[in-house]
Amino acid sequence: MSQDSVVPGELGDPAVRAAEVPEPGAVTIVVPTFNESANVRRLLQLITESVPARLPCEVVFVDDSTDDTPQVIREAAQDCPFPVTVLHREEPAGGLGGAVVEGIKAAGSDWIVVMDGDCQHPPSLVPDLVATGERANAGLVVASRYIKGGSRAGLAGSYRVAVSRGATWLTKALFPRRLHGISDPMSGFFAIRRSVVTAEVLQPLGYKILLELAVRSRPRQVTEVPFVFQDRFAGESKSTAREGLRFLRHLVGLRTASPVARMVVFGLIGATGFVPNLLGLYALTGLGMHYLPAEIVANQFGVAWNFLLIERLLFRDRRRHRRLWDRLCRFALLANADLVLRIPLIALLVGAFGMGVLPATALALVTTFVLRFIGTEALVYLPRRRPAKPPVPARAGAAQQGEPCEQTP
């Protein structure tokens, strides 16, 4: 990651020196960008016109661009009466949401305002977001299109309006408690106190960082202000079908964050495995195979199906802990051990405890299911323990955590 800072005082204008050092209550404006070279100059102009006179500020661009956006930002920053920093990421982990997390880590102010780089979020509202948060003693202030005084006017096309509304309804239905009091969880324009954010717990995927913040580390006090969603100044929207799929995967990851929720989804996925299992059994017996070996082979179709869904939907973020073949072999052994364990367990319940066959079978199914879930999570997807390495003395001038960023004055 490379970091460039442009300090306006270096231009020799003493009138802007008072804005160089953020004061208590000041704001860091975090702007994630991806190929927004046609918009950033206009955005900085709008910030200059509306924010510094009311609130000391700094602007941090976290850039994942493949065009000349970083250079355009550096050039435009020469005319700004506030510090402007460009953090360019060579590997854009987490998408625009990941960029926001990097900006939050780099922020030096009490308040952080997150906004897009396409000028659809009006910078004139930044001081109002912070002032509203101070008055309400809130940790999070959301700029909402869906309360009185707000509008989604800049959301072009009925298709995008429908998608936005559908995504809002879906997220509020999945997280009714966490999103209580937030009418616009899809908003990318909000202010949050630096003290209420624990960046290390965030696992963003895509561009809906507000949803990530609200679900994983929601402040107790949340308030909203209305805003009118503006037309994009230049360029085209980055919302694509691929981003939509990433958003859905993100929803699944958030919803299955608790062990109970993961177990429920694990069970639902397991239930879908009966379909390939039965189809395989039908095909194999139709080809003349005896039903007993056909049962064993057909069970592998269900195992493969379940493994695929669990990999993609349930434990996607934990796949890096083991190699694919290692995960597959462990999962297959656990799934087939379920069959081996179930029959002796049923015999024990019937013979030793006098249970009927049906209740004994039901209890065995529940027991082996719970054991299979625990085994899958613990033996397949949890990180392997590694011996702790002795601390390496920090080099002089190097950052205490992570690799030092290359800094260009």
**In this model, does residue 60 exceed pLDDT 90?**
yes
Confidence at residue 19, expressed as pLDDT on a 0 to 100 scale: 36
Confidence at residue 405, expressed as pLDDT on a 0 to 100 scale: 37
Q: What is the pLDDT of residues 223-271, one digit of tens each?
A: 999 988 877 766 566 555 666 666 666 666 666 666 766 777 778 888 8
- Secondary structure class of 109 (helix, strand, coil): coil
Confidence class of residue 15 from pLDDT cuts 50, 70 and 90?
very low
Q: What is the pLDDT of residues 186-222, one digit of tens each?
A: 888 999 988 887 766 676 565 677 887 877 777 778 9
**For residue 71, which of 42, 40, 117 has the smallest C-alpha distance?**
40
Residue range 161-185: mean pLDDT, rounded: 76
Read off the pTM.
Answer: 0.61
- The residue among 299 and 240 whose pLDDT is bigger is 299
**In this model, does residue 53 exceed pLDDT 90?**
no
**For residue 31, which of 215, 206, 188 has the smallest C-alpha distance?**
188
- The residue among 25 and 95 whose pLDDT is bigger is 95
Q: What are the phi and psi torsion angles at 223 (to 5°)?
A: -140, 170
* CATH class held by domain 2-238: alpha beta
Tell me the CA distances in angstroms from 233 to 33, 119, 121, 238, one per residue in order: 14, 6, 10, 13
- The residue among 215 and 121 whose pLDDT is bigger is 121
DSSP per position, 14-77: GGGGGGTSPPTT-EEEEEEESS-TTTHHHHHHHHHHHSTTTS-EEEEEEE--SSSHHHHHHHHH
Tell me the domain boundaries of the chain: 2-238, 259-381
Beta carbons within 8 Å of 341's beta carbon, 6+ residues apart = 368, 371
Confidence class of residue 61 from pLDDT cuts 50, 70 and 90?
very high
Confidence at residue 406, expressed as pLDDT on a 0 to 100 scale: 36
- CA 214, chain centre distance (Å): 11
